[in-house]
């Protein structure tokens, strides 16, 4: 009798598992969060279930949503920072994505529902070699290293993987996590290797280059996957970025660098707000206006003015740094090599490095203080700069400078470049 | 809306990457009595604690400790005394597919405070999970309670939401070699569980077959109702 029951139950289990496994169309994936305030109870003795931590309330809500909207679960994880359980679900192919998403959003069990969005890393071009080396000299980083090198500052680099065995990154990369899954190409990823080198390549080791903050500790969080072996371009999505952001916050990073951008994303925006509220500096690259996460209030957005034309920057509600000098930056490349890189990704990396220096000198430093200090430092650098295209001028509404609005958001500060003046 | 499929990114399998962070959870529970594998190891109120840790690579270490009533070593007529039953396990687990997970573990069960000769033993466990709805376990010990014979236990259990806040639960199990070399018994349970104010409550009716009486004492098997409350605390991440 017992055997019969077991066989029947296993058969039921098998067919149930097979019936809803069609989730291979990424366009039908949605992110859904439900309240997860309950911390749950003690699991049965001797049962360790990998990766499953969900409260009864959240599990019940998700089971109901699956049933009511014919959703297929793909993955899920608790975001304790937001007191929610975040699920990735696939919408049934027979139903419209927009219509179903709208209905789910209106469901009282749901806190947030949004499409799975895609993001691209910036700086997607790799200039040919020039007989020049941009870097620490032109921004007077050597002078800054007299007082700070980023020692003790933790910078989370949310990017692709990176060459962990690169000699110029030796000892700089501490914690490593892969939120994408396939680990085979981790060390051959180009973008993350370049960003890591600009921030924290070792100094005074007799080889290669010097990072802006050569003693900083890097948390290398792979949330983006490179499109092809020799292609610097890479993509991420809401899910992988949310995992990386949560990890960076939990690990108490001082600075988060996101050299990437995409459409506005509610879930990621909430997590960035948590990071900012905890005093974490968030730096993001920006290639276009209204690009997320650079346009999130409180995020230091780094744009690269094209060519030699000064790019007028709008005085938005968040700090903007224009780093026109982020062209032809020599940095680390996979395989222990070096290469030149350009773009706002590399500009963001430079600003993250500068922020680490400031953080070390003024720890703990609130984000408004950091912005003010960064603002001043960049202005000073511009004044001393021998090379005209590194001169920088700040545009900060004086009434807002140094004032932290009630919302906790940072004052508006923008920095732009003036050529040759 | 999401980008076209050609730009839409990695295969779905990528979502099943490790969560990326080590986890550590602590638990505490009180119960009207403690029933393990159909046998009442304490038929009066008791308490238990647990600590569960896991690494992103899949390795885990769990520690469970519960207050039980000691029997004498093979002497079921001795009066009960109180001892801590400690169950420490090391193992590895992973998810496969969208709904399944498995884990393998080696456990050492140690009794602390009974004052008698050691009856600590090692047990190997294989678990299979289907989301939070079904689970199966096969456990084996080559020298159960150091009595010189092997034993095994198979358990299959599940739960299902009856309402948004109430879950029904059930289980079936069979043990061989517990208590006596050739002892076999089956057991099962039905229950309800839910949560309220950060407290998980559970009420279940347990029934064990005749052979269960030979595991500890004549009162350890049979039919009984167990009520418990438990709490969890996520320490990491």
pLDDT in tens, A144-153: 788 889 999 9
The whole-model pTM stands at 0.67
Query: If DSSP codes are grouped into helix, strand and coil, which group holds residue A181?
Result: coil
> What's the token pair of residue A310?
């000064």
Whole-angstrom distance, CA of residue A236 vs CA of residue A222: 9
C-alpha dist (Å) from residue B150 to A103, A324, B217, B230? 57, 74, 20, 33
**A19-42+49-116 belongs to CATH 3.30.70.1710:** yes
Whole-angstrom distance, CA of residue A322 vs CA of residue B45: 67
Strand pairing class (B23-31; B222-236): antiparallel
Q: Look at A49 and B132 and tell me if their CB atoms are within 8 Å.
A: yes
* Domain boundaries, given as residue ranges, for chain A: 19-42+49-116, 120-417
Please compute the mean of the pLDDT values over residues A362-377 and round it to a whole number: 66
Options A122, A145, A166, A191, the catalytic residue: A191
Chain CA centroid to CA A254, Å: 13
The H-or-E segment that residue A73 falls in is strand A71-79
Chain B residue numbers with beta carbons less than 8 Å from the beta carbon of A5 are 172
pLDDT > 90? residue A50? no
Q: How far is B97 from chain A (nearest CA, A)?
A: 9
C-alpha dist (Å) from residue A293 to A80, A267, A274, B20, B207? 21, 11, 14, 22, 57
Is A419 a known active-site residue?
no
Q: Look at A49 and B54 and tell me if their CB atoms are within 8 Å.
A: no
pLDDT (0 to 100) of residue B202: 95
Q: How far is A104 from chain B (nearest CA, A)?
A: 15
Q: Over pLDDT 70: what percentage of chain B?
A: 84
Residues contacting residue A257 through CB under 8 Å, at least 6 positions apart: A155, A156, A157, A158, A159, A195, A199, A283, A284, A348, A349, A352
pLDDT (0 to 100) of residue B124: 97
Give the lowest-confidence range in A34-48, A240-254, B38-52.
A34-48
pLDDT (0 to 100) of residue A231: 82
pLDDT tens digits along B104-137:
999 999 988 766 777 889 999 999 998 778 999 9
C-alpha dist (Å) from residue A399 to A62, A233, A405? 48, 40, 11
Whole-angstrom distance, CA of residue A125 vs CA of residue B147: 71
Longest alpha-carbon distance in chain A: 90
pLDDT (0 to 100) of residue B95: 79
Single out the residue of B1, B15, B131 nearest to residue A100, CA to CA: B1
Single out the residue of A364, A360, A179 nearest to residue A278, CA to CA: A364
Q: Which of residues 21-50 of A touch B (CB under 8 A)?
A: 21, 23-27, 29, 37-50
Q: How far is A403 from chain B (nearest CA, A)?
A: 33
Angle at the Cα of A102 from the Cα atoms of A286 and B100, rounded to 5 degrees: 85
C-alpha dist (Å) from residue B22 to A54, A223, A289, B2, B236? 16, 17, 37, 31, 7
pLDDT > 80? residue A179? yes
pLDDT > 60? residue A6? no
pLDDT (0 to 100) of residue A197: 94
Give the lowest-confidence range in A122-131, A320-329, A412-421.
A412-421
Banded pLDDT at A380 (limits 50, 70, 90): low
Instruction: Name the one residue in this structure whose structure tokens are 């062209």.
Output: A327
pLDDT (0 to 100) of residue A48: 86
Which one of A48, A51, A246 has the shortest CB-CB distance to B62? A48
Whole-angstrom distance, CA of residue A191 vs CA of residue A228: 12
C-alpha dist (Å) from residue B114 to A245, B82, B117, B184? 49, 7, 8, 26
Please compute the mean of the pLDDT values over residues A310-328 and round it to a whole number: 56
pLDDT > 60? residue A390? no
Is A345 a known active-site residue?
yes
Please compute the mean of the pLDDT values over residues A159-187 and round it to a whole number: 88
pLDDT (0 to 100) of residue B15: 43
pLDDT (0 to 100) of residue A5: 47
Is A191 a known active-site residue?
yes
pLDDT tens digits along A203-212:
888 888 888 8
Q: Pick B13 or B229 by higher pLDDT.
A: B229
Whole-angstrom distance, CA of residue A102 vs CA of residue A97: 8
Chain CA centroid to CA A302, Å: 13
Q: How far is B98 from chain A (nearest CA, A)?
A: 6
CB B39 within 8 A of CB B212: yes
Single out the residue of A69, A67, A119, A75 nearest to residue A238, CA to CA: A119
| Structural fold of domain A120-417 | Rossmann fold (3.40.50)
Give the up-direction half-sphere exposure of residue B33: CA atoms within 13 A in the CB hemisphere: 20
In order, the DSSP letters of B24-82 are EEEEEEEESSEEETTEEEESS-EEEEEEEEE-TTSEEEEEEEEEEEEPBTTBTTSPPEE
Give the lowest-confidence range in A338-342, A353-357, A405-409, B142-146.
A405-409
Whole-angstrom distance, CA of residue B153 vs CA of residue B126: 11
Cis peptide before A364 (omega within 30 of 0): yes
Instruction: Name the one residue in this structure whose structure tokens are 């980083």.
Output: A141
pLDDT (0 to 100) of residue A222: 93
Q: Look at A181 and B13 and tell me if their CB atoms are within 8 Å.
A: yes
pLDDT tens digits along A83-139:
888 888 999 988 888 999 999 999 999 999 999 888 888 753 333 332 343 344 445
Taking all residues of chain A, what is their mean pLDDT, rounded to a whole number?
Answer: 75
pLDDT > 70? residue B2? no
Longest alpha-carbon distance in chain B: 73
pLDDT (0 to 100) of residue A376: 63
Q: Look at B17 and A181 and tell me if their CB atoms are within 8 Å.
A: yes
pLDDT tens digits along B46-77:
999 999 999 878 899 999 999 988 654 444 44
* Domain boundaries, given as residue ranges, for chain B: 23-234
Taking all residues of chain B, what is their mean pLDDT, rounded to a whole number?
Answer: 83
Whole-angstrom distance, CA of residue A346 vs CA of residue A124: 10
Chain A residue numbers with beta carbons less than 8 Å from the beta carbon of B193 are 41, 56
Q: Would you call A224 an interface residue with chain B, using a CB distance cutoff of 8 Å?
A: no
Please compute the mean of the pLDDT values over residues A35-51 and round it to a whole number: 79
Residues contacting residue B175 through CB under 8 Å, at least 6 positions apart: B37, B38, B151, B152, B153, B183, B184, B185, B186, B187, B211, B212, B215
**DSSP designation for B12:** G
Chain A residue numbers with beta carbons less than 8 Å from the beta carbon of B58 are 50
pLDDT (0 to 100) of residue B17: 42
Question: CATH for B23-234, among 3.40.1030.10, 1.10.274.10, 2.40.160.40, 2.60.40.10?
Answer: 2.40.160.40
> What's the token pair of residue B140?
């084996």
């Amino acid at each position: 009798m017992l055997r019969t029951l077991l066989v029947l139950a296993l058969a039921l289990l098998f067919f149930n598992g097979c019936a809803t496994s069609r989730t291979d169309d990424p366009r039908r994936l949605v992110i859904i969060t439900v309240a997860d305030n309950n911390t749950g109870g003690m699991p049965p003795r001797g049962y360790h279930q990998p990766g499953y931590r969900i409260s009864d309330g959240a599990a019940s809500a998700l089971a109901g949503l699956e049933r009511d909207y014919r959703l297929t679960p793909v993955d899920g994880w608790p975001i304790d920072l937001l007191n929610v359980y975040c699920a990735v679900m696939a919408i049934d192919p027979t139903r419209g994505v927009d219509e179903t998403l709208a209905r789910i959003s209106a469901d009282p069990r749901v806190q947030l529902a949004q499409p799975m969005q895609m993001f691209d890393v910036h700086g997607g071009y790799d200039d040919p070699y020039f007989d020049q080396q941009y870097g620490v000299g032109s921004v007077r980083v050597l002078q800054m290293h007299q007082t700070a090198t980023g020692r003790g500052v933790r910078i989370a680099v949310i990017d692709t993987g990176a060459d962990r065995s690169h000699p110029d990154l030796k000892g700089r990369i501490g914690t490593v996590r892969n939120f994408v899954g396939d680990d085979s190409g981790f060390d051959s990823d180009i973008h993350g290797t370049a960003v890591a080198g600009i921030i924290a390549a070792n100094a005074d080791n007799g080889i290669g280059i010097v990072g802006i903050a050569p003693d900083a500790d890097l948390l290398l969080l792979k949330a983006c996957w490179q499109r092809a072996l020799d292609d610097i371009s890479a993509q991420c999505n809401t899910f992988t970025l949310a995992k990386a952001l949560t990890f960076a916050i939990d690990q108490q990073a001082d600075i988060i660098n996101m050299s990437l951008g995409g459409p506005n994303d509610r879930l990621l925006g909430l997590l960035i707000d948590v990071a900012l509220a905890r005093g974490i500096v968030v730096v993001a690259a920006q290639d276009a206006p209204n690009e997320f996460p650079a346009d999130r209030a409180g995020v230091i957005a780094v744009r690269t003015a094209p060519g030699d034309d000064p790019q007028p920057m709008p005085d938005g509600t968040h700090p903007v740094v224009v780093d026109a000098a982020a062209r032809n930056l020599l940095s680390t490349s996979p395989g222990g090599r070096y290469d030149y890189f350009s773009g706002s990704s590399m500009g963001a990396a430079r600003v993250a490095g500068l922020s680490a220096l400031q953080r070390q000198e003024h720890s703990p430093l609130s984000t408004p203080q950091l912005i003010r200090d960064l603002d001043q430092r960049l202005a000073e650098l511009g004044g001393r700069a021998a090379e005209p295209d590194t001169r920088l001028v700040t545009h900060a509404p004086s009434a807002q400078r140094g004032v932290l609005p009630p919302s906790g958001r940072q004052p508006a500060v923008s920095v732009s470049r003036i050529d040759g003046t | 809306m999401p980008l076209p499929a050609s730009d839409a990114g990695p295969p779905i399998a990528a979502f099943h990457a490790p969560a990326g962070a080590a986890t550590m959870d602590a638990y505490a529970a009180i119960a009207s009595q403690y029933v393990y594998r159909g046998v009442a190891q304490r038929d009066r109120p008791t308490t238990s604690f647990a600590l569960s840790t896991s690494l992103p690579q899949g390795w885990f270490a769990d520690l469970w400790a519960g207050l039980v009533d000691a029997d004498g070593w093979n002497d079921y007529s001795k009066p009960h005394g109180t001892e801590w039953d400690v169950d420490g396990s090391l193992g590895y687990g992973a998810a496969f597919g969208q709904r399944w997970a498995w884990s393998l573990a080696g456990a050492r069960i140690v009794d602390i405070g009974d004052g008698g000769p050691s009856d600590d033993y090692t047990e190997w466990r294989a678990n299979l999970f289907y989301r939070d709805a079904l689970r199966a376990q096969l456990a084996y010990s080559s020298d159960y309670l150091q009595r010189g014979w092997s034993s095994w236990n198979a358990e299959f259990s599940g739960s299902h939401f009856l309402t948004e806040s109430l879950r029904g639960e059930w289980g079936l199990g069979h043990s061989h070699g517990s208590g006596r070399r050739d002892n076999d018994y089956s057991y099962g349970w039905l229950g309800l569980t839910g949560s309220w104010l950060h407290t998980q409550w559970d009420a279940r009716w347990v029934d064990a077959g005749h052979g269960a009486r030979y595991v500890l004492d004549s009162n350890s098997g049979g039919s009984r109702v167990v009520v418990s409350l438990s709490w969890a605390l996520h320490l990491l991440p």
